[in-house]
Structure formats: C-alpha cells, structure tokens
Structure 1
C-alpha cells in the first residue's frame, strides 16, 4: 500500500472513530441531559403517551391526567387551579414543565426517575402500561384555603410550616394564575396565554413565597437582632436598652425615629422585652450597632439566610449585606437597608424559635406513590441548623407572646391559645405604601404551626397599613385552620 493511501485510510479511520465517540456520547452520556431539555418536543410527545402521576393534597388530586382521543393521549387537569397554582406549577406541551411541583419533580411524575427503574422493568415484563409516580404533599387543605381567602385580591404571600418537621402546610402567592391555560391542547391558545401572563404587571407566574424580588422584612427581622443579643450573653429579655424618640446615626443628617416619634420608655430607656412588644425602632437600631454587622449576619445565617434551599422548588436565598457601616447596621437591625428575605425564610425564623432553636429543612413532598398508591419513598424530617440555644428560644417566645397579648400584634389573638408573634411594616420605595408583615407560631408552648404573611404595599389599607392590622388577621386564620384540623 502506497503512502497516500495509508494516510487516507488513517484519516478515514480517525473520522469513523470520532463518529463512534460522538454518537456514543449523545446516546449514552448526554442522553439524559438532552431528554430533559424543556423544549425537547420528542421527549414531551413521548411523555404524553403515558399517564402522568397525580399531585395529591389531603387525598384529593390537585393535578391529574385524563385520557383523550387526540395525538396527545393525556390531558393535564387542575381541579383547584388558582388555589394551588404556585404549588403545582404547569405541564405544557409548548413550554414544558415548570413553576412548581410539575417542574421540580418532573422525572418522578413522568416516570423517568431512576427511583422508578425497577418498577419500569416490572411493567415491561408484565405488559402493564407505564405510569408516572404520584406525589402526596404536606399541604394542609384548610390552611391553604385560609391563606388564599385571607390574601383575597391583595398581592403578597403566605407560608405555614410545621415547626417540628419543616413540612410546608400552606404556600400561597397572589396574584395566582390558572395552569390549565398553559396545559391546554389548544396550542394557539397556549401561545397567546404565555406572553399575556409574562406581561401581566402582577407577575402571576412568580411564586412570591419563595422567589421573585425579595422583600425587606421590616420589624420582623428584630427577632434576629434580639436573638443575636441574647446569644451574645450580654443581654437578657429584661436588659435595659436605649429607647429615645429619635436616634442620631453617625454621618446621617436625618435621625432614625420610632413610628410615633415618642420615646419607648421613661428617661429614653426600656427593656428588651418591652422594645419588641411595642416594636421600638431606636432600641433595636442602637442594639444593632452595639452588636455589630457581623454578629447580625452570623445570626441570620444560623436561621437560614444565605442558603439556597430546594423544597423541592428552588427557593431564592435571603440575604443580609456584607461590609455594612454603622448607619447601615442600624437600619439592617430593624429589617431595612438592603436586608431581603422570602416569606419562607421568615416562617423558618418563627418556626425555629418555636422549636427550641432548631431549624428544620422545609419540604413539600411527603410521599412518592406507585400506580396502586403504594409508598415508594417517604420524606424524613431533616435538621438544618441550630439557630439559637433553648434558653434563648424560651426568652424569645416569651417576648413574642407579649407582642400578641398586649403589643402590636393583638389582632392575631386566638381564644384559649397562647400565640407568639411579631409584626413588621417595611418601607421599600419612596412614596410607596409599606409592606405589611406578620410572623407567628401557636400554641406558644408546643407549636403545631408557624406562619409568615406579607401583604405588598399595605394591601387594601394602603399607606395606613401596619403589619399587625393587615397581616395579623391572615396569620390568625391560618393558625386556626391548622389547630382545628
């Protein structure tokens, strides 16, 4: 064989080798990634040939598949669409699965998860039609309904947790939307609905409880500041702290003031417990500067700030800014400046205090179920961190009880039940009404539920809003729903 032919043969062999490697890579190593692409219509079309698993709450399907006679053999239905829109998300032939459980647990619902491998083999051998797994959620239907009704037409979000396990008992975000608009087999209607939802000024596709433009927590963050003070060993709930009508911050012309521009106690002094009860801005701003920025950031981190969680949807990490000067720290200590948080995170703060200082990892899926509703997998509560000592948690609970008994949170009182809570009224934009916050847990001594509520721009009360008056009654209704279940 002459030299040119040998070279040509070597080149041809190399090309065949590259083709073999490339095709092997695509078919095996990269196959899963390609199949999981949201716009992979072949995968989506194949998934419509099998029944997708249901999403269950309280034994009822909030998302289920119904057989059809069309090319897409199964139609996705949402019987309680708006109530659970941000929990379920959507399943669309045009836009894929997203927005909630549909997207986060697509592999289980579609039957493609590795957890279902042996069941797929069994179905193949027995000739059964493949079916996706169903998911039983932790949501309490009564709490979800109470949160939805409480928010009404107001924009905002509600999250309720079981403090002892981290199970999510309610997750509501307003405005809501109808997932059926995106799951319809009428492709033209779906393609019209999508841009309309994206352009809607209310951002209905955003789950405000865990994502979106995060909120300043306002005075609910005073729980974190109080926790840092108690954990320092320098303060107790009865320690005396400054509480003047206004506080001059270093290098700032305008002083920081209390909401009523009055001192929080005689001789411009008050106790830590009374400062939380009446939500004294100057006391906590002063406390923040005494503790320092890093102490606040470290304490917030112990409650979960800075961590990106999956519940299984991805929750945006809440944050406390780094490198704050004294005025910044004073503002951050009362939940302003650039402190940003999700309602989920603030529910975790309340839950941790009620749970003796332990933060439990929040989760939404209780059980993975087979086609005969047999259990394939079950969630195990997981400890995330220890935010505070049991002693600090007890003191914070006492302080929060006073907020509801005789302070700014009396609207959340429940007859015959000790409620622990904290109000917040968060300034966020010049000329805009403040966001109204309330976080709480009940019963205070042995909590079954912790709640965080935020109502944007004061809700129906507008500029006259306060966290106690606007968000407090919503939290109360959610707590009552859980306690009466």
Structure 2
C-alpha cells in the first residue's frame, strides 16, 4: 500500500468513526430530547400511532388513551376530569399541547423515553403494537375526593402531604375545568373552549394549590415567625411581650389590633405560646420587629419560601415561589409577623411548613410520582429527598406542642378529630380590596404524623369580611385528615 493510500485510508476511517459516534449520540443519547422538541413534526406524527400510557391513582387509570376513528388513532380520555385537572393537565395531539403530568412525563407516557429505547426496537422487530409506559402517582383517590367534596363550591385549594416522604396525597383547586374538552380532536372546538376558560375571571386554568395570584398567608405564617424565634436561641414558648390592645407600627402612624379588638387574654404580658394559641397579632408583630426581617426570611427559606418546587423532577410542573421579600422596612417586618404586608404563599408551601414541623424539623421535597410501569412490566420507583432542616428536633417538638394547643383549646378548634390529636394553625388574611382569604394548615396525628394539610379559601368563603379560617378552612382540613386516617 502506498503512503498516500495509507493516509487516505486513515482519514476515511476517522471520518467513518466520527460519523458513527455522532449518529449514535443523536439516535441514542439525544433521542428523548429530540423526540420531545417542540415543532418536531415527525415525532408528533409517530406519536399518533402509539397508545399513550395511562396516569394511575390508587390502582385506577384517571387518564388513558382509547381508539379514535380519525387520523390521530388514539383519543385521550379523563375520568373525574374536573377533580384531577390540576394534576393530570391535558394532552392534545392536534395542537401538540400538553400540561401538568401530561407534559412533565410526556417522554414516559409517549414511549419516547431513553429508557424505552431497546423496548421500542424489540417491538418494531416483533411487530408488536407500540405503547407508552404508565405513570403511577402518589395521590390517594379517597383523599383527593374528600378534599374535592369538602371544598365544595368555594374558590380555593387543598394540598395534603405525607410529612416523612414529601409524597403528595391530594391536590385540589377550584374552580376547575373539564380536561376532556381540551383533548378532543376538533381544533376549533378546543380553541373555543380554551378561549372561554382563559376569559373566565375566576381563572379555572390556574392550579391554586401551587400557582396563580398568591395570597397573604395570614396567621398561618406565625408558625414561621415562632420557628425563627426558637431557632434564634433567644426565645422560648414562654417568652413574654406586653399584652396591649393596640400597637402602633414602628416608624408609622398605622395601628395594629388583635382579631377580637382587645388584649391577648388576661394579664399584663402574653407568652409566645399563648399568642400562637389565641392567634394574636400584636405580640407576633412585636416579636417580628425584634427578630428582624433577615432572621425571619432565613427561617422562611428553610421551609421553602423564595424557592420553586417541581412536582416531577426536572419538569415545568412546578410551584410559583412563595415570597418573603428582601429589605423589608420596620412596618412591613411587623406586618409579616402575622402574615400580612408583602408576604405571599401557596397552599403547597404552607403544607410544607406543617410537614417540616411534623417531621422533626426536616422539610422534604414534595413529589408526585410513585413509579413508572414500563411495557415489559418492569418499574422504576420514585424516591424521596430532603430539602433541608428548618428546625432542630427538640425545637420542632416545642412547635408541635404549641400547635396542638391551638387545636385543643385555641383558635383552630374546628380541626379537632375525635380520638386523634391534631396540630394546626388557622389564618384569616386581609386583602387590599377583596374579602378575607381563609387558611388552615396542620397535621395529624400530632405525635405520629401521617398527613400534613393546607387549605386556602378565597373571597371570604362567601361571607365577605365576616368569615374566618377556623369557621371555613379548618373543617375542610379536618375532613381531609380524616380521609387519610380512615376516620
């Protein structure tokens, strides 16, 4: 072989190897990303012929594909669509549109996930019908139904979490919508339905459990302030403040009062424990000013404030960050002591606060996937992970004691469950022009927590400015906790 021919052979071999490596990377390594790239019409058309996997809750499919008599081969169908809409979202092949779990787990459901590569080859060779994998969620159908029914016609949301794992057991948002209307293969009908939903001032497409126009958390945020106080080492539940019936905000002429208009119980002083039990604003405002906004923000962020949480790892199905802003002035810091001013929160976040306290001070990342069941019946299990420690376990135990008192003999009495100790906190948050936003967050059983829950009811629960968190939100939470505990 001549020297020139040898060089040409080496160059050709190198080019062949480069081509082989690059095509292998594209076909295998990047297959999932390419298949799910917006505008990839080839992948879209191929997906029409694949029976999309089911979304399963408590052993029953809540979203599945049934044969259709058109070019798209399969029609997506949802059971109890309104109830599950904030979770499943919808999938429409005509518009190439997906939301929520349908979007977050699209690669798995459509069979284009990289883990299904060899299964796809095998099915192609054997001529078997291509199918996507099933996704089994952590939600409990009975708990979801209890939350849905308990919320009734109210505008609001409910989130229930397993404190030790972060598994989401229920996620309800109202008003909701029928996902089947957005899954049909008639583009004009879908666009008309979508336009009607987006024009609705009640915003049914928002998942109020994790996003939308966030509400001030009201007195439920007192848990974070009390937690910051204990964590500072400068306060105990028995630390006292002057027991007055009005309080002028620092550097301001604005006056704050307690919900009842008087002092916080009897005596010239009031403890943090009593202020929490009776949900008094003034001592918590004074405590917030003493702590300072930096300390409160640091503690709030340990529970998850100012962070977004994905329901499915590495997905856009994620929460809007709850906020405790930076550089609050003294009046705003005082207002934050009872969850007013510029503080905003999702029900998911307030459920995480209760769950963190219940879990010996450790906050878990929320998650919604229990397992992926592939077409060969193998499965991949979901896993739990820690977000971080918000409070030492001994201090968390002190928070539990104060939260139990709140339910047993305090402002959250309507969350009591016969034979079960419940820990909780209510909130009745003021808005600039709208009626109060009503809250409850808590967990049960208090000493062996199985569920942490947060409830938000907007527009005063239909009672204008006379509704309260204990009257409206606490009974909803009670029914959700009872569903988990089998009461």
Report the TM-score when normalising by structure 1.
0.91
Deviation string for 1:79-112 (max 9, x for gaps)?
Answer: 2111101110000124434331001111111111
Q: 2-side partners of 1:193 and 1:34: how far apart?
A: 30
The match for 2:469 is 467
The match for 1:351 is 355
Give the one of 385, 394, 399 matched to 2:397: 394
The root-mean-square deviation of aligned C-alpha atoms, in Å, is: 2.1
Q: 1-side partners of 2:59 and 2:76: how far apart?
A: 18
Q: CA deviation at 1:448?
A: 0.4
The match for 1:15 is none
Does the C-alpha gap of structure 1 residues 396 and 308 become closer, same or farther in structure 2, counting only changes over 3 Å?
A: same
- What is the SS of the residue equivalent to 1:314? coil
Q: 1-side partners of 2:447 and 2:463: how far apart?
A: 33
Q: 2-side partners of 1:209 and 1:68: how far apart?
A: 33
Deviation string for 1:103-143 (max 9, x for gaps)?
Answer: 11111111111122232233233332221110111111111
The match for 1:479 is 481
Q: 2-side partners of 1:115 and 1:32: how far apart?
A: 9
Is 1:330 the counterpart of 2:334? The answer is yes
Q: CA deviation at 1:375?
A: 3.8
Contact 1:242 1:270 in 2 (8 A): yes
Structural mapping, 1:272-351, within 5 Å: 272-312=272-312, 313-351=317-355
Contact 1:38 1:95 in 2 (8 A): no
Contact 2:95 2:187 in 1 (8 A): no
The match for 2:4 is none
Q: 2-side partners of 1:216 and 1:465: how far apart?
A: 16
Contact 1:38 1:97 in 2 (8 A): no
Moved more, 245-254 or 416-425: 245-254
Contact 1:404 1:410 in 2 (8 A): yes
Q: CA deviation at 1:196?
A: 0.8
Contact 2:154 2:457 in 1 (8 A): yes
Q: CA deviation at 1:334?
A: 1.0
Q: CA deviation at 1:215?
A: 1.4
Does the C-alpha gap of structure 1 residues 58 and 437 become closer, same or farther in structure 2, counting only changes over 3 Å?
A: same
Is 1:439 the counterpart of 2:448? The answer is no
Contact 2:31 2:112 in 1 (8 A): no
The match for 1:361 is 365
Contact 1:304 1:345 in 2 (8 A): yes
Q: 2-side partners of 1:429 and 1:283: how far apart?
A: 23
The match for 2:84 is 84
Is 1:113 the counterpart of 2:113? The answer is yes
Structure 2 spans left out of the alignment, 5+ residues: 1-18
Deviation string for 1:306-336 (max 9, x for gaps)?
Answer: 2211112211111101001111111112111
Is 1:256 the counterpart of 2:260? The answer is no
The match for 1:244 is 244
- What is the SS of the residue equivalent to 1:132? coil
Report the TM-score when normalising by structure 2.
0.91
Q: 1-side partners of 2:318 and 2:115: how far apart?
A: 21
Structural mapping, 1:49-198, within 5 Å: 49-198=49-198
Q: 1-side partners of 2:287 and 2:115: how far apart?
A: 51
Deviation string for 1:260-319 (max 9, x for gaps)?
Answer: 121114444111111001111001000000001100000001101122111122111111
Deviation string for 1:436-470 (max 9, x for gaps)?
Answer: 00001000000100000000111222221111111
Contact 1:41 1:93 in 2 (8 A): no
Q: 2-side partners of 1:468 and 1:120: how far apart?
A: 54
Q: 1-side partners of 2:408 and 2:69: how far apart?
A: 60
Does the C-alpha gap of structure 1 residues 68 and 450 become closer, same or farther in structure 2, counting only changes over 3 Å?
A: same
Contact 1:242 1:282 in 2 (8 A): no
Does the C-alpha gap of structure 1 residues 147 and 281 become closer, same or farther in structure 2, counting only changes over 3 Å?
A: same
Q: 2-side partners of 1:172 and 1:67: how far apart?
A: 29
Q: 2-side partners of 1:114 and 1:236: how far apart?
A: 53
- What is the SS of the residue equivalent to 2:254? coil
Q: 1-side partners of 2:310 and 2:164: how far apart?
A: 18
Moved more, 375-384 or 122-131: 122-131
Q: CA deviation at 1:31?
A: 7.8
Structural mapping, 1:23-62, within 5 Å: 35-38=35-38, 40-62=40-62
- What is the SS of the residue equivalent to 1:116? helix
Q: 1-side partners of 2:429 and 2:99: how far apart?
A: 27
Deviation string for 1:398-423 (max 9, x for gaps)?
Answer: 10111111111111100000000000
Moved more, 73-82 or 456-465: 456-465
Aligned length: 462
Does the C-alpha gap of structure 1 residues 212 and 38 become closer, same or farther in structure 2, counting only changes over 3 Å?
A: farther
Does the C-alpha gap of structure 1 residues 121 and 31 become closer, same or farther in structure 2, counting only changes over 3 Å?
A: closer
Moved more, 411-420 or 236-245: 236-245
The match for 2:13 is none
